[in-house]
Amino acid sequence: MITNYHLDFGLVEIYTDYIKVTINEGITISPEHNNVLLDMVEKHYKNKPFLYLTHRVNSYSVDPTIYLETAKISNLIGFAVVSKDPLQKKQTQIEKLFFNKELKRFDNISSALLWKDELLLKYHNSIV
């Protein structure tokens, strides 16, 4: 891990090629929260491909239209949802409708990170 941020809405962990976000219980993610995350992405991943990993261990809500803005980040290669909650499978299907990049749900972080490596390989091969 490079660094982390303990924010009022959750924990953000910055790694070399992915950002891991764990949102606090009961939060409603708004565009303002998204703007904070976008600032971190600009600071830590400027012109560098990365994966957004959300570790959904708590119950919270997201306005899915936020994904329309998030998808505009040119160096964002994908969005991984890590949760064992069966309801997240349906939620992820809804979120995909608003996100025009790779988005996939996983039961564990290690599987999500393997997928990240696949996406990075595809990304690097596409720019060569």
Give the pLDDT mean for 90-109. 92
Q: Which tokens hold the place of 123?
A: 């990304």
Please give the sequence-ordered ranges of beta strands (E in DSSP) within the chain, or none if there are none. 3-7, 10-14, 18-23, 28-29, 50-55, 61-62, 76-82, 102-106
Convert the pLDDT of each residue in 4-40 to its tens digit.
Answer: 999 999 999 999 999 999 999 999 998 888 889 889 9
In angstroms, the CA 78 to CA 67 distance is 11
Answer whether 93's CB lies under 8 Å from 67's CB: no
State the pTM of this model: 0.93
CATH code for the domain defined by 9-100:
3.30.750.24
pLDDT digits (tens, 9 = 90+) for 35-94: 898 899 999 999 899 999 999 999 898 888 888 888 889 999 999 999 999 888 888 898
The tokens describing 50, both together, are 């990365």
